[in-house]
A and B are shown apart, each in its own frame.
Chain A
């Protein structure tokens, strides 16, 4: 019997269940395989050509398969054009989705099992929904959420300190806005101000670069810190306005319900409103430069300044908050208390003693000097005659005026201290002898030496002179020093007119100490250089001259305090322009600086930032 193929067609159903099996005998040694309906084995897969391949018995138990379409088929997983297979080894051949399994058949024939799996995949209406296609919403939500949480919160919070020296500053993303130009060098060093997390910026951080000190070493240390820290500018140095504790205590709640609540909340939560940073605001909106302003300076030069509590708010009802204070309330300019200058109560000792006394009580000063202003300013008196006699060449030539003795200091705002030799010596000569063309003077202020020169007292005198020196010639009209013991201290002597002199039982003179006040009101700043204050330059109408405020021309006693009371200031300050051309403001800061006791707050503001550059300062261009 001839070899023939026994075909077994098995279709596995996609829905499960028993496969469909059909069997038939195919006579003949050769068989065509393809999609064509007349093929020996019909494979309906569209990837199979109508005449795809053929197979035939090539020997006992052997079959040769060969592609006729040029398309390969798989034998043992490998694509081939032709294959000679041994049926006994039960080989499998694949044509697209069909599998042909061979096994020995009866009479040397072969059983070919053709298996086809139905791949039916039904799309469900879910395919219409985006959810079946797009990256899951929940997954995206968690990725974004946790990413931001870690990058924007955890890393800056935990590692900002560790990374401060690196180039990455993770906490910089927390900055709510740019720093002012003066502080811009701190932009990447948040911790320089925000020293402790969850603790508001404390004054210590600010003061580490801005604290003024009377101790030059401490001062230098503060400046060095700023410079070493990278500041291109010299920090403005400030003194505490008052003891910080008292300052906090004295600050009332601000006006307005909202502001009150905010302040209470802030104080409660450790964000007090009396800190440096409460008034000097950083990281805030930058005011755009005015038209025509410097386009290269988009940032504010200095922190924005806001007033949390103005002067009047604290200096009103102070006692109710502080309990005990010597400060007198100043609710407004019109209720400014009478001036209470520092009045010298004793000039004795190393340091004179002072006491603040209201001018309304007509206080008397004890500076130890005998100096009647009236006598010296009288245009028809002896002093005037003597001044005229001295002549213009010696700086006089006319009756004395205030500036004859009170010479402006370098700033012009105040006066140089009175120096006896320079300011009084032209008339009150200390000369006691002449050597050649040179006058010999008693050393002012040195009683012992004067006594020695005068040869008085138990110290005795001596006519001996060093070899080579000329013997002094007594001035005409004076007795030789040795002739009148202690003569300069006696009536008619050089010391007697101006100094209070008492005599010890031993016959020695005791001169009462003299110390002259240099500043009567060190907490305020009166600027004598202002033309309306009698300074040089053209004053507005209504401006004052010295004599308008200081009643020196009618003062006979040195103890008279010639500082004018506030009423004089009031004539112009706080007045409308309609009243006087010299009208000026009545603002506290005109005379009192918040941070620099005894100085006025500069107007219109602090020195421009560029003038504070270290290079400018080194070049001697520091602002005055």
Chain B
């Protein structure tokens, strides 16, 4: 029998427009135009300036004012995102503008420097700004690519399920290890108690768990002398299987953590560097006028 009638499924066509494509790249276009104009004006006027181009020329002041204004406005995203508003100036529009105008600063502020760099507060402000922009660019890359990889990695397993299976495996190891002598029990305990799921920033970022307690315990388990009685032998075999299972779940969870670290890590540079930049920018502007 064939299923002749069937049913028609109405799928509501709904395309998601991310912050990068917001309003057909409107802010990308604005930022590009700003850069093109700035570069044009700079190279048109720099040659006619009497002094070497610097932040102190009229074009330097204009670029500096625009750049400083942009930096302050861009930093306000931190405030804006905490405020729920409605209307045209959606958070998505803000983020889109934040990304593209932020990237345009690489051009505007570089022209503002007049390509004069040194070991001073002014270049410090510039370096911090570039650090903020580069970390932000990493963030864009992370947001654009990593969520998919995160999903691809975990498949149908949720993070909660991963944790639960590790706990369950630990419990099983505890029970299985009961008949074992001291050496075997120590290894079970090592896997249960000493295995660190996450670890520090770099461990997470590099997925470097070469010293994982579960792995070491499994290796040493295999090296143990043969069991003295069948009950222990069975327990050891089971324990090894459990450790193997645990290693698989750990690998999955840790890969998940690695991707998450990439996804979140840039903010640990972006935010502190932004605050440092705001302070350096204030010092830059104040010092220039203090020693005018």
Decide: A176 near B283, CB < 8 A? Known: A137-B272, A190-B291: no
Determine whether B234 belongs to the interface, using a CB cutoff of 8 Å to chain A: no
A128 to B166, CA, bound (A): 14
**In this complex, what residue of B is CB-closest to A191?**
B291
Q: Which residues of A contact B273 (CB under 8 A)?
A: 144
- Decide if B160 is an interface residue (CB 8 Å cutoff): yes
Of A5-13, A119-127, A318-326, A513-521, the one touching chain B: A119-127
Interface string of A133-145 (1 = CB under 8 A from B): 1100110111111
A520 to B185, CA, bound (A): 114
Most buried by A among B179, B274, B287, B291: B291
Partner of A153, one of B167, B257, B264, B286: B286
Give Cα A194–Cα B290 distance, bound, in whole angstroms: 8
* Cβ of B181 under 8 Å from chain A: yes
Residue total for A at the interface (Cβ-Cβ under 8 A)? 66
Partner of B178, one of A37, A47, A152, A285: A37
B96 proximal to A (CB < 8 A)? no
* A258/B253 in contact, CB under 8 A: no
Is there a chain A Cβ closer than 8 Å to B289's Cβ?
A: yes
Contact B279 A174 (CB under 8 A): no
Measured CA separation A349–B198 after assembly (Å): 104
- Is the CB–CB distance between A157 and B120 below 8 Å? no
Is residue A131 within 8 Å, beta carbon to beta carbon, of the partner chain? yes
Contact B198 A133 (CB under 8 A): yes
Most buried by A among B48, B167, B292: B292
Report Cα–Cα, A54/B273, bound state, in Å: 63
Give bound CA distance, A35 to B272, whole Å. 52
Most chain A beta-carbon contacts within 10 A, residue among B54, B158, B197 = B54
Contacts of B166 in A (CB 8 A): 123
**Interface magnitude class on chain B:** 35 or more
A contact residues around B289 at 8 Å (CB): 198
Which residues of A in the span 98-127 have a Cβ within 8 Å of any Cβ on B?
122-125, 127
Q: In the complex, what residues of B have CB within 8 A of residue A463's CB?
A: none
Q: Are B182 and A153 in contact (CB under 8 A)?
A: no
Is the pair B292, A173 in contact by a Cβ cutoff of 8 Å? no
Q: How far is the CA of A197 from the CA of B256 in the complex (A)?
A: 55
Interface positions, chain B 179-194, Cβ under 8 Å from A, are 179-182, 185-186, 188-189, 192
Closest residue of chain A to B271 (Cβ to Cβ) is A137
- Contact flag A129-B260 (CB < 8 Å), given A46-B189, A140-B268, A174-B287: yes
Cβ of A190: which chain B residues have Cβ within 8 Å of it?
Answer: 291
Give Cα A395–Cα B178 distance, bound, in whole angstroms.
133
**A308 with B50: in contact, given A44-B178, A128-B159, A141-B275 (CB under 8 Å)?**
yes
Which residue of chain A has its CB nearest to the CB of B192?
A46
Tell me the complex Cα distance, A183–B277, Å: 32
Does B265 belong to the interface (CB within 8 Å)?
Answer: yes
Residue numbers of A with Cβ under 8 A of B are 35-37, 44, 46-47, 49-50, 69, 122-125, 127-134, 137-138, 140-149, 152-153, 156-157, 171, 173-178, 190, 194, 197-201, 256, 258-259, 261-262, 265, 270-271, 281, 284-285, 304, 306-308
- Can you show 8 pairs from A to B with CB atoms below 8 A apart? A134-B201, A137-B271, A138-B271, A147-B279, A149-B283, A262-B57, A284-B54, A306-B51
